[in-house]
Structure 1
Amino acid sequence: MWRKVGYQLRRDALGGAAAGWLVLLVLAAAVGPAFLGDMAREPALQLRFLPPLSTEHGWEYVLGSDALGRGYLARLVVAARTTLLIALVAVLVALAVGSIIGTVSGFLRGRLDTVVMRVADVMLAFPSLLLALIVLYTLGTGLVPLILVLALARIAMYSRVARAETLAVRERVYIRASRAFGSGSARIVLTQIIPVIANPLVALATLEFAMVMLAESALSFLGLGVHEPDITWGGLIAEGRNYLESAWWVALFPGLALTLTAVATNVLAELVRKAAESE
């Protein structure tokens, strides 16, 4: 599948640009905070609200500064690491848990399948924002509770997709042959079902990455996300909404970064989906 994705990226200019943006963003988020962490947190009140392209005080002020005089480029890079990390961990947790539940449910069927699907139906029908409010009110705000609530809201979707794919595979001839030769359920699931259903689940996870980022930003905007010293793009947008008339860049740049990343992820997800469907 990944060879086909690479081939499509070479042929598709938009897909190549999206992949390039994501690679650049990941590199900046991985390396940047080690060099820019202090600049992103230490206030310099004499430099507050510098407009963009204010390079006389250093390149870190090329995107201006915030209400405490902190370079906004450094703030964006440090916030990118937290935002991407939250989305990545939440997606991986939801993917792993939901795939296991859905695969086992679809393979074994029976009463377990009925219970799992009814629970999934309830979770999908329940407003995700309300679910987030309940969980965060119970566990409190912070990095770990935020990841847990984002993952919990997505598990049901992966379960349904994994179950549907498993139902389509479990009656194939080679699965019946494996049962006839005495292979156990665990061996069949691990060696013959999961490799087949992995591609659509990965395609779904790629698409869900953007959705989780937007959900995290919405919660942070409402004050239910992480708090200082950790910062996210959603938190920066929430800070900037108070200065839209006097310092528009404080809300514009994190919003632009979030939009570009979500669009790039969706473009890449479409290429992954096409590659998965052609397998």
Structure 2
Amino acid sequence: MLTLTQRSDMKARLKNNNLGLFLSAGILIFFILAALFAGYIAPHDPEKANLELRLKEPCREYPFGTDHLGRCILSRIIFGARVSLLVGLLVVSSSFVLGLAIGTLSGYYGGWLDEIVMRVVDAFLAFPSLLLALGIAGLFGAGFMNLVIALITVDWAGYARLARGSVLTVKEQDYIKAAKGLGAGDMHVILRHVIPNIISPLIVMATIGMGYVILSAAGLSFLGFGVQPPTPEWGSMLSEGKTYIRSVPYIMIFPGIAIMLTVMAFNYLGDELRDLLDPREKKDID
């Protein structure tokens, strides 16, 4: 739990670092609103092809131009935000809960359970995550849910390791020993005293992890193992436009910019949250 001093420190940091924080938050709010209201703000049907309009340059009616099938690129980017953010939310929230539960129980009880869990975690972390996700996606096949499952499979281990390490420190604190001495059960101690005191670094990891998951999902879709056309998704849009990278580069440029802005915004927001929530990362405040 945050002390009064830590809360005051957070307010001071927010006051001194509001420009970058608000900018990244503004970018994310923009994409979230675009995803939520895509059906109202998209100028055209993102899946409707019109070969008479193929490869049309940006103009008033089609601000980002059209792709090789005559579909509005702006509309596809807007609807693609819905898919990319949904993948990120499902993967990060599932990995967060799964990793938190496994890591907390492993660190709290220790012994043979901790040894088994940590060896499994080490095995998952030993592989390059994107290659492992690619192998799992190839095993299950392409598709939205298979993409989500593949990314959860490789993402939960990092949360479990971080949670377990935090629990090893927290469980030796006096307030944990006092709660046990008063007769509190293990689940009560874990839910009321352990998890609230280890959640901050996991929140930071989840915020940064959103950008990583969106980037990974785009990479898998680019390789053909993610969301399949004609469903608009930023990675698949890049894949469809790679043939025209020299003649019509804007087909790849605009979805690439959308990915870059979203990932950068989540990364910066995560860095700011780390500085705000972790007293060990305390910076000097003018």
TM-score tier (shorter): over 0.9
Give the direction of change, closer, same or farther, for the CA distance of 1:82–1:133 in structure 2 (3 Å limit).
Answer: same
Equivalent in the alignment of 2:135: 134
Uncovered stretches (5+) of structure 1, i.e. residues with no partner: none
Q: In 2, Cα distance between the equivalents of 1:24 and 1:222?
A: 28
SS in 1 for 2:228: coil
Give the direction of change, closer, same or farther, for the CA distance of 1:64–1:10 in structure 2 (3 Å limit).
Answer: farther
1:29 aligns with 2:35: yes
Q: Deviations over 1:103-138 (max 9, x none)?
A: 000000000000000110110002223322332232
Give the direction of change, closer, same or farther, for the CA distance of 1:6–1:147 in structure 2 (3 Å limit).
Answer: farther
**Corresponding letter in the other structure for 1:240:** G
Uncovered stretches (5+) of structure 2, i.e. residues with no partner: 281-286
Give the direction of change, closer, same or farther, for the CA distance of 1:247–1:99 in structure 2 (3 Å limit).
Answer: same
Give the direction of change, closer, same or farther, for the CA distance of 1:40–1:50 in structure 2 (3 Å limit).
Answer: same
* Kept in 1: contact 2:47–2:232 (CA 8 A): no
Q: In 2, Cα distance between the equivalents of 1:49 and 1:264?
A: 30
Equivalent in the alignment of 1:167: 168
Equivalent in the alignment of 2:54: 48
**Corresponding letter in the other structure for 1:15:** L
Q: In 2, Cα distance between the equivalents of 1:277 and 1:153?
A: 26
Aligned pair partner of 2:16 in 11, 15, 28: 11
SS in 1 for 2:46: helix
Q: In 2, Cα distance between the equivalents of 1:39 and 1:5?
A: 45
SS in 2 for 1:43: coil
| Runs of 4 or more consecutive aligned structure 1 residues displaced over 3 Å after TM superposition | 1-11, 33-38
Q: In 2, Cα distance between the equivalents of 1:38 and 1:191?
A: 50
Give the direction of change, closer, same or farther, for the CA distance of 1:69–1:216 in structure 2 (3 Å limit).
Answer: same
Q: In 2, Cα distance between the equivalents of 1:111 and 1:37?
A: 58
Q: In 1, Cα distance between the equivalents of 2:38 and 2:15?
A: 28
C-alpha deviation, 1:39, in angstroms: 1.5
Give the direction of change, closer, same or farther, for the CA distance of 1:23–1:236 in structure 2 (3 Å limit).
Answer: same
Equivalent in the alignment of 2:101: 100
**Corresponding letter in the other structure for 2:20:** L
**Corresponding letter in the other structure for 2:276:** A
Give the direction of change, closer, same or farther, for the CA distance of 1:10–1:236 in structure 2 (3 Å limit).
Answer: farther
1:275 aligns with 2:276: yes
**Corresponding letter in the other structure for 1:275:** L
C-alpha deviation, 1:36, in angstroms: 3.2
* Kept in 1: contact 2:55–2:66 (CA 8 A): yes
**Structure with greater proportional helix content:** 1
Give the direction of change, closer, same or farther, for the CA distance of 1:6–1:228 in structure 2 (3 Å limit).
Answer: farther
Q: TM-score, normalised by structure 1?
A: 0.93
SS in 2 for 1:230: coil
Equivalent in the alignment of 2:222: 221
Equivalent in the alignment of 2:206: 205
Equivalent in the alignment of 1:249: 250
Q: How does 1:114-133 map to 2 (within 5 A)?
A: 114-133=115-134
Q: TM-score, normalised by structure 2?
A: 0.91
Give the direction of change, closer, same or farther, for the CA distance of 1:9–1:239 in structure 2 (3 Å limit).
Answer: farther
Q: Deviations over 1:150-192 (max 9, x none)?
A: 1111111000100011011001111111111111111100010
Give the direction of change, closer, same or farther, for the CA distance of 1:126–1:32 in structure 2 (3 Å limit).
Answer: same
**Corresponding letter in the other structure for 1:216:** A
User: RMSD of the TM alignment (CA)?
Assistant: 1.9
Q: In 2, Cα distance between the equivalents of 1:22 and 1:69?
A: 29
C-alpha deviation, 1:7, in angstroms: 6.2
**Corresponding letter in the other structure for 2:37:** V
Equivalent in the alignment of 2:88: 87
Give the direction of change, closer, same or farther, for the CA distance of 1:49–1:6 in structure 2 (3 Å limit).
Answer: farther
* Kept in 1: contact 2:221–2:235 (CA 8 A): yes
* Kept in 1: contact 2:35–2:79 (CA 8 A): yes
Q: Deviations over 1:19-73 (max 9, x none)?
A: 1111111001111135539621111222111112x11xx2xx1111111111111
* Kept in 1: contact 2:34–2:41 (CA 8 A): no
* Kept in 2: contact 1:10–1:16 (CA 8 A): no
Equivalent in the alignment of 2:182: 181
SS in 2 for 1:40: coil
State how many pairs are aligned.
Answer: 274
